[in-house]
């Protein structure tokens, strides 16, 4: 069976069939993540002023339906999806919103990416799983996304969009498809700040630590991203081309070197060492290498790095 290949090209998610790029209706799902992705810092522990939690969950379900209609879910080994779900669910109780109905989805996309949308929907790509060298790396990435959801920043951004577009009546009337479709189309006008992503990093480290994953996993993952940046040179144009490969989500984040420094400072405050006893580098069941062997394309994603890690 032929499988479509998806990547970010000229700021748009596109599928490649027969050597040609076919642009999809959702013009920029990476940008859509910047509208609905739960990314930011303000609002932790605060209720939303316009969108109720019930509406948030319904909006998340609508976005999920539109997203998966355009980007394929991973349909390979069920062990891969179960592994991601188990890691995610093990972190949920330590978040600031543990009672949301969470959903963890693996997208059949080559790009190294992860994002979350309102209402508890978290996504990682097959490419990210292939590139990860430990369960702790995947756990800390998922924890980062769960931090976004806890802070309700996707909700905040969506509320801003609804008011700006005068869609309060659509929200009250339950026309969620109109709201989500519109937000997707103007996604590139609502970009989250680097400060919001810094906060997501901080929350993710704490959540992973509380769930007894070694939070140094995010440092290892950032260091890997840094090698990708370095492999294309040091100029801004070359870094931008790497970000196209990584997916639009990573292009909005603070510089990787800064993120590594911030996380290491936080880990120092927590008193967590890289070889801390009682903190897991791998999830229960399969290792990240075993999961990588199951997902298509694992052999060419991080082969060199895995030989040198730990």
pLDDT tens sequence across 236-289:
443 343 444 444 456 567 788 899 999 999 999 999 999 999 999 999 999 999
**Residue recorded with tokens 């303000």:** 42
**Residue recorded with tokens 């109109």:** 178
Average pLDDT, the chain: 78
Q: What is the pTM of this model?
A: 0.79
Q: What are residue 114's DSSP bridge partners?
A: 124
pLDDT tens sequence across 44-82:
766 777 999 999 999 999 999 988 988 889 999 999 999
Cα–Cα distances in Å, from 48 out to 155, 172, 298? 7, 15, 41
In this prediction, residue 31 has a pLDDT band, given cuts at 50, 70 and 90, of very low
Instruction: Provide the pLDDT for residue 102.
Output: 98
Q: What are residue 117's DSSP bridge partners?
A: 37, 121
Out of 18-27, 33-42, 95-104, 158-167, least confident range: 18-27
Task: With CA atoms as reference, report the closest residue to 73 among 147, 6, 19.
Answer: 6
Instruction: Say how far apart CA 207 and CA 202 lie, in whole Å.
Output: 9
Out of 65-74, 91-100, 138-147, least confident range: 65-74
pLDDT tens sequence across 145-172:
999 899 887 888 888 889 988 999 999 8
Instruction: Provide the pLDDT for residue 166.
Output: 92
Task: With CA atoms as reference, report the closest residue to 134 among 278, 277, 292, 262.
Answer: 292
Instruction: Say how far apart CA 229 and CA 214 lie, in whole Å.
Output: 25
Instruction: Provide the pLDDT for residue 228.
Output: 81
| Mean pLDDT score, 119-131 | 94
In this prediction, residue 229 has a pLDDT band, given cuts at 50, 70 and 90, of confident
Report yes or no: 295 and 129 within 8 Å, Cβ to Cβ.
yes
Instruction: Say how far apart CA 246 and CA 240 lie, in whole Å.
Output: 10
Confidence check: pLDDT of 174 > 50? yes
Residue 88 vs residue 1, higher pLDDT: 88
Out of 13-22, 60-69, 84-93, least confident range: 13-22
């Amino acid at each position: 069976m032929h499988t479509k290949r998806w990547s970010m090209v000229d700021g748009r998610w596109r599928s490649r069939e027969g050597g040609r790029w076919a642009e999809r209706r959702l013009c920029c799902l990476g940008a859509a993540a910047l509208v609905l992705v739960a990314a930011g810092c303000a609002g932790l522990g605060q209720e939303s002023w316009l969108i109720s939690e019930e509406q948030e969950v319904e909006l998340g379900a609508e976005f999920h339906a539109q997203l998966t209609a355009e980007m394929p879910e991973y349909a390979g080994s069920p062990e891969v999806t179960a592994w991601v779900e188990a890691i995610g669910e093990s972190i949920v109780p330590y978040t600031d919103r543990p009672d949301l109905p969470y959903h963890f989805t693996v997208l059949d996309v080559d790009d190294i990416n992860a994002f979350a949308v309102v209402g508890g929907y978290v996504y990682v790509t097959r490419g990210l799983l292939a590139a990860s060298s430990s369960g702790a790396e995947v756990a800390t990435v998922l924890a980062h996304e769960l931090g976004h959801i806890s802070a309700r920043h996707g909700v905040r951004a969506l509320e801003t969009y609804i008011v700006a577009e005068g869609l309060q009546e659509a929200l009250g009337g339950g026309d969620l498809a109109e709201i989500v479709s519109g937000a997707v189309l103007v996604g590139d006008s609502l970009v989250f700040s680097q400060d919001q992503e810094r906060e997501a990093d901080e929350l993710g480290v704490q959540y992973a630590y509380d769930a007894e994953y070694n939070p140094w996993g995010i440092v290892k993952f950032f260091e890997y991203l840094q090698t990708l940046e370095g492999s294309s040179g040091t100029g801004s144009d070359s870094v931008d081309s790497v970000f196209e490969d990584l997916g639009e989500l990573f292009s909005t984040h603070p510089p990787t070197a800064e993120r590594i420094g911030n996380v290491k400072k936080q880990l120092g405050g927590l008193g967590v060492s890289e070889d801390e006893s009682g903190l897991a580098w791998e999830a229960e069941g399969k290792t990240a290498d075993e999961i990588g062997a199951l997902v298509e394309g694992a052999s060419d994603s991080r082969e060199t790095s895995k030989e040198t890690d730990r």
